[in-house]
Structure 1
Amino acid sequence: MNVLHNQSNINPACLPTPNPSSPNFAARFRADVVQLVETDNKHKHSDTCYKYCDPKQGDKKICRLLMPRKLVPVSTIDPDTGHISMRRSDPWINNFNEYIISACRSNMDIKFIWSGSDAKALVYYITDYVTKMSLSFHDTFALVQKSITSFQNSLQQTSKESAIEKSRKLVLRCYNTLASQQELSGVQVASYLMNWDDHYTTHKFQGLFLIQTERFLQAELNEIRTKQ
């Protein structure tokens, strides 16, 4: 009873996705989706909703996400225009896909892309979003400069390495410095702290340690060259 009570106080987004092999999975899955939607997928007005409104110019305070939305009792398709009106029973719930929201454990607002122009706009938006840097240019340059300075100080102690090895270590140190400063989402941090899986595969794979493999191949290559 205490376990069930504690779970009821936890945000559904922090709970794992129901196991498909568990008994009565369909009911568990539906209850999980309902909890996620009611807790995390309801729209709440914020300053972001009105960031394009300028009261000084007489603009009306209208939510740019068009919330609340009109209720639709039954899903219909207009035969003349082809417009699809999906059933909506709550004016504040964002559009969602039950399988995606259960797997991602986060809010969403899914939309079907009809035209080529919408598809192009979506590709541009996703590309711009996933490639944006979490660090500004001046912060990046400062971190790289710090790595170079630290690397130069370490070279004074070990100066017998080849230029290729020094270059490899410099690039690796710069990468590690930048990677250590990358922002992590709350969901990602919580997943690691709770020891949840961060990926799912159909097969079990053996880990491959690239640095050790590279060193082994380099040693073998050097040995072959000395024998020639």
Structure 2
Amino acid sequence: DMNVLSNQLNLLPACLPTPHPSSPNFISRFRADVVQLVESSNTHKHSDTCYKYYNANRGDKKSCRMRMPRKLVPISTIDPYTGHISMRRSDSWINNFNEYIISACRSNMDIKFIWTGNDAKALVYYITDYVTKMSLSFHDTFSLVQKSITSLQNPNNQLDKENVIEKSRKLVLRCYNTLASQQELSGVQVASYLMNWDDHYTTHKFQGLYLIQTERFLQTELNEMRAKQNLEIASH
């Protein structure tokens, strides 16, 4: 037991197990666990990320984009006119947290109660912007595409004998492979791939729709219909 305790003391609080509710002295252990997590993971420290968009040449004011340090609030209050809730804050460097969530997830967090319509709209905008943002900037994308085009124009690539369709196919494929090789992958994506897990989950079972076969079928039907119309016109 002493060896286990010694090993746990050397681990980061985020790597330690969440105290079990049935364990002796759970309340005191739980509080100590939350304090450790907050001090190690949820206390803000300035880094280059804080000043990611700071530009001295534009005369920008150098301020942390995480809005740290934050204003101390002696007591929690509710504005009766706007409904804005100001929670008590005794430390200007600690992000907002819920003790039960942070103990269960064991990671940093910045929780906020969504009360007003403006906050709700800001949340929707933030989530939408976050999940749809490109991992590559436009100028990086253009540079990679230019690199692909240049490589295909290399005299060593024997493309002169190929037709336009084949050249176009190779160009698109080369651009796609170049961009795909530079895409960032999250830890969740990599783990799911290595564990051979599904990449999506649904509540219902859907029938697969193969667009290429559908397109070929429709094109064939269209060609036959046109041929029949041409025969009818020719017969008259």
Report the TM-score, using the length of structure 2 for normalisation.
0.53
Instruction: Show the 5 A alignment for 1:11-30.
Output: 11-30=12-31
Aligned length: 150
Which residue in the other structure is 1:119 paired with? 120
Which residue in the other structure is 1:183 paired with? 186
- 2: CA distance, partners of 1:117 / 1:84: 13
Which residue in the other structure is 2:10 paired with? 9
Query: How far 1:128 sits from its partner (Å)?
Result: 4.7
Instruction: Show the 5 A alignment for 1:1-228.
Output: 1-130=2-131, 182-184=185-187
Q: Is the 8 A contact 1:33 1:102 kept in 2?
A: yes
- 1: CA distance, partners of 2:56 / 2:185: 37
- 2: CA distance, partners of 1:82 / 1:128: 27
Query: How far 1:104 sits from its partner (Å)?
Result: 0.8
Q: Is the 8 A contact 2:14 2:107 kept in 1?
A: yes
RMSD value over aligned CA atoms? 3.3
- 2: CA distance, partners of 1:112 / 1:58: 34
Query: How far 1:134 sits from its partner (Å)?
Result: 7.3
- 2: CA distance, partners of 1:135 / 1:29: 42
- 1:93-122: CA deviation from partner (whole Å, max 9, x where unpaired): 000011111111100111111233432332
Distance change (3 Å), C-alpha of 1:133 and 1:24? farther
Distance change (3 Å), C-alpha of 1:118 and 1:86? closer
Structure with higher Rg: it is: 2
- 2: CA distance, partners of 1:118 / 1:60: 25
Distance change (3 Å), C-alpha of 1:127 and 1:78? closer
- 1:139-184: CA deviation from partner (whole Å, max 9, x where unpaired): xxxxxxxxxxxxxxxxxxxxxxxxxxxxxxxxxxxxxxxxxx9532
Distance change (3 Å), C-alpha of 1:105 and 1:120? same
Query: Which range moved further: 47-56 or 79-88?
Result: 79-88
Q: Is the 8 A contact 1:134 1:182 kept in 2?
A: no
Structure 1 residue runs without a partner (length 5+): 139-180, 190-228
Distance change (3 Å), C-alpha of 1:59 and 1:12? same
Q: Is the 8 A contact 2:84 2:116 kept in 1?
A: no
Q: Which has the higher contact order (CA 8 A, sep 6+)?
A: 1
Q: Is the 8 A contact 1:18 1:25 kept in 2?
A: yes
Corresponding residue SS for 2:187: coil
